[in-house]
Amino acid sequence: MARPSWHERIESARTQREADNRRRVRRSVSQRDGARCEVDGRKLLNFCGNDYLGLAQHFAVVGALQDAASRDGAGGIGSHLVCGHHAFHDALEKELADWLGTPRALLFGSGYLANLAVVQSLLGDGDICVQDRLNHASLIDAARLAGCHLRRYPHADPEGAIRQLRSVPDSIAMLATDGVFSMDGDIAPLKDLALVTRVQNALLYVDDAHGVGVLGPDGRGSVAAAGLGVEQVPLQLATLGKALGGYGAVVAGNEALIEHLSETARPYIYTTALPPAQAAASLAAVKLARKEHWRREKLNEQIARFRDGATRQGLVLMPSDTAIQPLICGDDLRALSMSRSLEAAGFWVAAIRPPTVPEGRARLRITLSALHTSSEVDGLVAALAKARDRAEAEARIALLSG
């Protein structure tokens, strides 16, 4: 029997994606100026990025990057445990640990790597990792690669979580959840989950990529907003690439757990450290995020303005009070149609389709930033209403012609 062809498999998969309207196409950004950018030669207002506090191009952040690069170069040159751990890395870890109220923090190249590191270094064969069904893909991949039992509970359902933990009662257990869910924008019921893990003697790990910087006292994230500390949440992830405008991530928490990660986590040991200049930029961003509370206040004002305007226009949003404001379209074609209409009006809002979201839950993932003005938010709401009306007209025509 002849061996199957890789070419045929890839072509078949691509053909199927085309039939399902699920091809992914990269867009080239040639210039950014705050929330405005040039995309494939067109000037658009960005409402689908994650620069929630508007720090990615802040002069102090960029200045710190440039100054450090001029002294220390462009690369990390080695892993942290060999020769790559720089004073800027150390300062950034200490600043973040202090901000988040934890004994220690450990720097990683990305949030994806950090999640792989946490789960794989703490769990193995026979152990159990219980996860919210809407967790980020990196948490799911981490559990699969760790070789542990992966059990998933209905979204934001603490009772479902405890049932899953009880399904494997005699093993080391971790409950992992997003703090803010990246596609729905809602917040995990962390107080209830903390109680579940205490009763079940499990470790609670919170990926707070979309919460740190924007939620809680001083922007310390969803864990702090829930009134929890390191005793209830021994480990949490804070990304440097969302509200802080840079790149990379840290895992913050219990001293012994962080030390264990630093000595055993493969995604930490066997990769080059972040460039020191990038760490310097993130350090500057953290300091700004800690003291410039007006950024969170302005962001919250724009979130409220957007939701009020959407309600007046009859746009049905998901129940989110965060910077992530999804508008469910259902059908993939409808989401693509609305995204194209918005782009024609000068707004960049990406259509999110399965498998990133569940079947039948295609959406526009609208994100707000402290960079957006009130008039820009109002303009987006008006454009969304027109895009909805156009998509509905297209659907009626297709139904009649079909």
Report the binding-site residues. Answer: 24, 111-112, 136, 182, 210, 239, 356
For residue 108, report the phi and psi dihedrals to the nearest 5 degrees. Answer: -125, 165
Binding site for pyridoxal 5'-phosphate, by residue number, is 111-112, 182, 210, 239
DSSP for 200-223 reads HT-EEEEE-TTTTTTSSGGG--HH
Looking at the DSSP bridge assignments, the partners of residue 97 are none
CA distance 275 to 98: 22
Distances (CA, A) of 218 to 90, 181, 211, 212, 249: 22, 20, 12, 10, 19
> Which residue from 173, 174, 135, 199 is spatially nearest to 357, judged by alpha carbons?
135
For residue 241, report the phi and psi dihedrals to the nearest 5 degrees. Answer: -105, 5
CA distance 369 to 373: 9
CB-facing half-sphere around the CA of 52: CA atoms within 13 A: 31
Whole-number CA gyration radius for the chain: 22
Looking at the DSSP bridge assignments, the partners of residue 348 are 46
CA distance 112 to 253: 18
Q: Cis bond leading into 354, ω under 30°? A: no
Answer positive or negative: Cα dihedral of 304, 306, 309, 315: negative
Are 193 and 177 a contacting pair, CB within 8 Å?
A: yes
Exposed (0-12), middle (13-18) or buried (19+): which is 254, by Cβ within 10 Å? middle
Binding site for substrate, by residue number, is 24, 136, 356
